[in-house]
Structure 1
């Protein structure tokens, strides 16, 4: 349904869409959200996101308990969305950050497999320590859903199972076949190499 008007941090507090704990079996929590503080036209006609970064970040920390924020935006998107100081504000609010830029509606580039494994290892370590990890891109759907599903796949779920868990949390997650196919490819690569069996 289309909602016209401005969406502010006060009138529409930032939400986190939580993946079921059973999906990863750790003492931590894994959630998906949109870009905190973003100021931009929404995908629905007549919607304008006019948010406050500090207010969103404080809510992520104080209400949702975020310990680690995984940010998947490309560098230019922080400027475009009016949040060039996202990392500074997050740190001031007590939220650690991990930056892994992915092009909108796409997946990590060919040759980035080692970097992807490093990102997933960071998320897994935080979850194992009982921390709350929140992943975001611009809308919290495509790139965010992809990384969330990759995380679940690393725990031994099939790509299909992982994607299903993520979509139960956020029905709009993983926006295209490129993204779902990437998760399936990672599942095969990790199974062949025994990547996470050593953890």
Structure 2
């Protein structure tokens, strides 16, 4: 039996696509190409990488973006430093990629989100997408924690998410 790269599916309100919350492909005793193929077969048409370039170098995953596109998926790198809230650079990049992410999800396509372990930053961005789709903050947090209990435990993440719910992010129509 082939090793399986873990992921957790999160159904979204008002769109047909889902989010696939996952640890970084290529880090769970599953080869990078195999992990990406498993995500693609699960319906992923996009991959959001929240790891910094330095982290990708540390784990010898500098080819991640290239392999994502070679596997037929769109790659979005939106780095957030581990255990930190997103910075202004993230906010700018988020505004740039959000329309593409929403298009994928509205078309019924899934989007994989990962950081190193698939909980902290991954849960934060999943909750942000839920807010963008109009989900109330406490419900968004509960939905993410239902599938990733270790997500959204850092005060800095919860504070940032609260600020976003007060109008800091672009919301979908």
**Contact residue 5 and residue 30 of structure 2 kept, 8 A:** no
Aligned to 1:158: 136
C-alpha change, 1:93 and 1:111, in structure 2 (3 Å) is closer
Higher helix share: 2
Give distance in 1, aligned partners of 2:93 and 2:61.
25
1:54 maps to 33
Root-mean-square deviation (Å): 2.0
Further displaced range: 115-124 or 158-167: 115-124
Q: Distance in 2 between matches of 1:71 and 1:111?
A: 15
How do residues 35-50 of structure 1 correspond to structure 2 at under 5 angstroms?
Answer: 35-38=24-27, 49-50=28-29
- Alpha carbons of structure 1 residues 88 and 115: separation in structure 2 relative to 1, 3 Å: closer
- Relative to structure 1, is the Cα distance of residues 119 and 147 closer, same or farther in structure 2, using a 3 angstrom cutoff? farther
> Paired residues, what number?
173
Tell me the equivalent position of 1:133: 111
Please report how far the alpha carbon of residue 20 of structure 1 lies from its aligned counterpart in structure 2 after TM superposition.
2.7
Partner of 2:64: 86
Consecutive unaligned residues of structure 2, counting only runs of 5 or more, are none
**Structure with greater contact order relative to length (CA < 8 Å, sep ≥ 6):** 2
**TM-score with structure 2 length normalisation?**
0.90
- Report the Cα distance in structure 2 between the residues aligned to 1:20 and 1:36, rounded to whole angstroms: 21
* Superposed displacement of residue 177, structure 1: 1.1
Q: Please say if 1:196 is aligned against 2:171.
A: yes
**TM-score (norm: length of structure 1):** 0.79
